[in-house]
Amino acid sequence: MKRKVLFPGSFDPFTLGHDDIVKRALGLFDEVVIAVGYNEQKTGWKPVEERVASIKKVYADEPRVRVESYTGLTVDFVKEKGATAIVRGVRTMADFEYEMQLADVNRQLTGIETILLPASPQYASISSSIVRELAHFHHDISTFLP
Ligand code: ADP
């Protein structure tokens, strides 16, 4: 049986830090589903279809990566996709506290485990919100994107 992991996030935009987590998750699982979560009440910086399309381009030559959008509870989407776990990245203590709570609730609700990968030092300070801020002020953001 193929071992599939879900990597959920907003990916608005998808950065080198996210790409690093995907590549490392491919070393642990047979397949990675990048799940772009969206909220019907709140449109992001880029529309969700645009985010999905640009992430698909990044992994055009990697058949073990799939990219999909979803709304609602992440654990429901994990089950829908037949994944066995969730993977998330941790950059800071604040990330860690948040991710611990999420992981605990998700495991209690469904038994689905979350694997937390520590951010690689060279990408640890990259966040989608900083990239959006730079773009807003017309800075070149290409060095932060895969
Ligand atoms: P969310 O809105 O769910 O936090 P993000 O798109 O901001 O979604 O992040 C998705 C996941 O990627 C989260 O687990 C986040 O901690 C992780 N992540 C974000 N940036 C990095 C980075 N530079 N290095 C490693 N992990 C990261």
Concatenated DSSP letters of 86-114: EEEEE-SHHHHHHHHHHHHHHHHHH--EE
Residue 45 CB partners (closer than 8 Å, separation 6+) = 12, 13, 132, 135
Closest residue by Cα to atom 2, ligand 1, is: 10
What confidence tens digit (pLDDT) does each residue in 79-116 have?
999 999 999 999 999 999 999 999 999 999 999 999 99
Closest residue by Cα to atom 23, ligand 1, is: 17
Active centre residues (catalytic): 18, 42, 91, 128
Contact (CB, 8 A) for 31 and 5: yes
Residue 40, pLDDT > 90, answer no
What's the mean pLDDT when you consider all of the chain?
96
Please report how the helices 93-110 and 74-81 are oriented relative to each other, as an axis angle in degrees rounded to 10.
Answer: 60
Residue with tokens 């800071």: 92
Contact (CB, 8 A) for 38 and 6: no
Structure confidence at residue 42 as a pLDDT band (50, 70, 90): confident
Average pLDDT over residues 27-44: 93
Residue 9 CA, ligand 1 centroid: distance in Å = 6
Please tell me if the CB atom of residue 123 comes closer than 6 angstroms to any atom of ligand 1. yes
Please tell me if the CB atom of residue 44 comes closer than 6 angstroms to any atom of ligand 1. no
Contact (CB, 8 A) for 10 and 36: yes
CA distances to 21, 25, 86, 133 from 50, in Å: 21, 24, 23, 19
Determine if the pTM surpasses 0.95.
yes
Q: Which residues of 80-105 are buried (b: 16+ CB within 10 A; e: fewer)?
A: ebebebbbbbbbeeebeeebeebbee
Would you state the pLDDT for residue 85?
Answer: 98
Pocket perturbation via mutation, ligand 1, pick of 18, 127, 133, 143 by most ligand atoms within 8 A of CB? 18
Residue 1, pLDDT > 90, answer no
What percent of the chain has pLDDT above 90? 95
Please tell me if the CB atom of residue 88 comes closer than 6 angstroms to any atom of ligand 1. yes
Residue 61 CA, ligand 1 centroid: distance in Å = 23
